[in-house]
Structure 1
Amino acid sequence: INGRNYANIENTVYHMPCDTLEMDRRLDAEHYMIRQVTGTNAFAPIEKMTRCIDIGTGSGIWVLEMASENPQGQFLGVDIMPPHVSELKPPNCRFERGNLLEGLAYSDNTFDYVHHRCLNTAMPETAWQAYVDNCARICAPGGWVEMVETTGMLWNVAGYGERFNSWMHQLANPQGIDLFVADRVAELLQRAHLGDIRTHQYMLPVGAWAGAQGELGWQSVSGLVNTLAPFLEQNVGVSPAEVAKLLKGLKAEVAARRSYLQLKIYCARKPTK
C-alpha cells in the first residue's frame, strides 16, 4: 500500500507495515527514545535472567540488546511478523512467529521474565485480560511480568496535536482498541493474580525543544502518522495533503509547546506458591 509492505494475516487488528522503514526507523526510534529517557532496557528486579520472552518484539532490537547485556540468559522474541536480523545476532537469542490474539503457545511456568512494549494498538480492549492471564501463565513462579505502554496521545498540544489525537482515536475506536489501556494495566495484572506490582512513569519529549531525545520522539510520532496515512484516508477521510499539512504544523507546535507522550511501566511478580 503506497509502496509499503503490510502483512496479510487474519485475526489481527494490528495494521502497521513490516518493512525496513517501519522496523529500522520508527520502531528503533521508539526504542532509543525510551532507553534514553529511562536509562535502562529493563525495570523488573531480576537478579539473574535465564529464560526471557519479548512479546510483540517488532524490530527485535530490545531482544538483541538484552541478549548482549545478559549472555547467561536465553532471549526469545515473538511477533506476528518476526524481524529479519543480522546473522551476527547474539547466540543466546532467537525469534519466532506468533499471534498474541491466538494465545501464547508456551507451557506453563516457562519464562522467568515476560516482557512487552507498546502493544496498545495490537489488540482490542476485550482481549487484554485473557492476554495478561496468558502472560502470567507462562511466567515461572517467582518470575516477573513487565509491561511498557504509552497512553496513546500527545500531551500539551493545541490545534494540530488535538487533531492528531482525534485521528488516532477515530482509527482505534471502530476496532475496539483502547488507546488508554496503559491506565488499566495494574488492574489487569492484579486480576491475573500477580503481586508486588511496581509502577514507573516518564515523560517522553516530542520535538526540538528537548534536543536529541525530542528528535527521537518526533521521529516516532511523524513516522506513525506517515505509516497510518493510507488508513487515515480510507477510514477517516483524511487526504494526503491534510496529512502533510498536519505534520508541518505539528512539528512547529510540539517544539513551541514542549509536547510529550506519557510512558507507564508496570512490573508484577508471580507468587512462588
Structure 2
Amino acid sequence: MIMGNKNIHVPIPKDCGRVIDLGCGPATWTMDMATDLTAVNFVGVDISPIYPAAIHPRNCAFSRECIVSGLTQPDCSFDVAYQRNVAPGFTLEHWTRSIAEAYRILKPGGYFESVETDVRVHDAGPMTNACFDHMVMSMASRSVDPAVVRSLDKLMISAGFVDVRVVEYRVPLGEYGGKLGQLWKQNMTAIMETVKPHLAKAGHIGEQQAGEMISEMGRETKSGDFRSFQTVYVTYGRKPL
C-alpha cells in the first residue's frame, strides 16, 4: 500500500531470472513474489530460520546464512538482490558488508534494492516523539545509527553501484491517514510493545512507565490533533555491465 501496491521497483528477468531476499525473515515477500512470478527462481536467506521449511512455492528456496559474515552464494549468480527492514539491527559496518555482498553475488547489470523506514517521526505529539526518541537511544546503545537509511545511496555508490536512485514514501501514522495510517499505527505500536524492555533500559525508566508512554502514543495518534508521518526510503542501483 505504501509503495502504490508495488512489491519491487527494479526490473526482474521474467524467464529464468534469479532473485535473492537478504534477511527474508518469515519470507512473506519472497513467497508473494514467487507466487506471482512462477518462472523466476527466488532464494531467501536469514540468520534466524523462521522461514518456511516445507510449505512454499516450488520456485522458492531458503537457507540459514548471515549476510554480514558472508554468503555461500557464488559470485555473479543473481539478477536482483532485495533487502528490507534490517536497519534496526545494522551498524554502519554491517551496512558496508551487506552492500558489498549484494554487489558480489549480482550478475553484471543486476540490481540491488533496499527498503527501510526512517525512525524519525514528523509532526508528532510529545509522547509519540518520546517513544521514538527512546527507540533511537536503544539503537545507539548497540552502535546502530538510524540516520544511515537516509544515505544508503552514498554507500551503494561507494560499493560500485551505478544509476543509484532514491524514492521516498511518506507514511501517515494515525487515524487521520485512513486505512494506511491505521495499519501503520498498529505496526508501530506492536513494535514498541515488543521492544518495551529495551525502551525502558535506554531511557532509564521502568517498563510500566514505558508502557504508559506507548499507550499515550496510541491516544495521540488517534485524536487527530497531530498529523504524524514517517518516511520509507527505497534505494536501488545497478551493478555495471
**Both structures adopt the same fold (TM-score exceeding 0.5):** yes
Q: Contact 1:38 / 1:202 at 8 angstroms: preserved in 2?
A: no
Note if 1:212 corresponds to 2:179: yes
Structure 2: stretches of 5+ with no match in the other structure: none
What is the TM-score normalised by the length of structure 1? 0.82
Name which of 135, 145, 148 aligns with 1:168. 135
> 1:169-208 to 2 correspondence within 5 Å?
169-208=136-175
Q: Partners of 2:202 and 2:218 in 1: how far apart?
A: 24
Q: Partners of 1:228 and 1:262 in 2: how far apart?
A: 21
Residue of structure 2 equivalent to 1:9: none
Is the partner of 1:45 in helix, strand or coil?
A: coil
Q: Partners of 1:247 and 1:130 in 2: how far apart?
A: 34
1:129 deviates by: 1.6
How many residue pairs are counted as aligned between the two chains?
238
What is the TM-score normalised by the length of structure 2? 0.92
Name which of 66, 80, 93 aligns with 1:113. 80
Name which of 92, 95, 100 aligns with 1:128. 95
Q: Partners of 1:88 and 1:131 in 2: how far apart?
A: 28
Q: Partners of 1:80 and 1:67 in 2: how far apart?
A: 21
Q: Contact 2:18 / 2:42 at 8 angstroms: preserved in 1?
A: yes
Change (3 A) 1:36 1:182: closer
TM superposition outliers: structure 1 runs of 4+ over 6 Å: none
Is the partner of 2:109 in helix, strand or coil?
A: strand
Q: Contact 1:57 / 1:82 at 8 angstroms: preserved in 2?
A: no
- Deviation string, structure 1 residues 84-116 (Cα, Å, up to 9, x no partner): 438442111122111223122221101100000
Q: Partners of 2:107 and 2:184 in 1: how far apart?
A: 35
Is the partner of 1:38 in helix, strand or coil?
A: coil
Residue of structure 2 equivalent to 1:40: 6
> 1:131-146 to 2 correspondence within 5 Å?
131-146=98-113
Q: Contact 1:83 / 1:95 at 8 angstroms: preserved in 2?
A: no
Structure 1: stretches of 5+ with no match in the other structure: 1-34
| Identity in percent | 26
Q: Structure 2 counterpart of 1:44, which letter?
A: V
Q: Contact 1:37 / 1:213 at 8 angstroms: preserved in 2?
A: no
Q: Partners of 1:117 and 1:249 in 2: how far apart?
A: 29
Residue of structure 1 equivalent to 2:227: 258
Q: Partners of 1:143 and 1:190 in 2: how far apart?
A: 14
Name which of 51, 59, 79 aligns with 1:92. 59
> 1:46-61 to 2 correspondence within 5 Å?
46-48=12-14, 50-61=17-28
Name which of 71, 78, 97 aligns with 2:38. 71
Q: Structure 2 counterpart of 1:74, which letter?
A: N
Q: Contact 2:74 / 2:105 at 8 angstroms: preserved in 1?
A: yes
Residue of structure 2 equivalent to 1:269: 238
Is the partner of 1:100 in helix, strand or coil?
A: coil
- Deviation string, structure 1 residues 216-273 (Cα, Å, up to 9, x no partner): 101211111111112233443332221221122111222321211101101111111x
Q: Contact 1:225 / 1:243 at 8 angstroms: preserved in 2?
A: no
Q: Structure 2 counterpart of 1:187, which letter?
A: K
Q: Partners of 2:168 and 2:199 in 1: how far apart?
A: 30
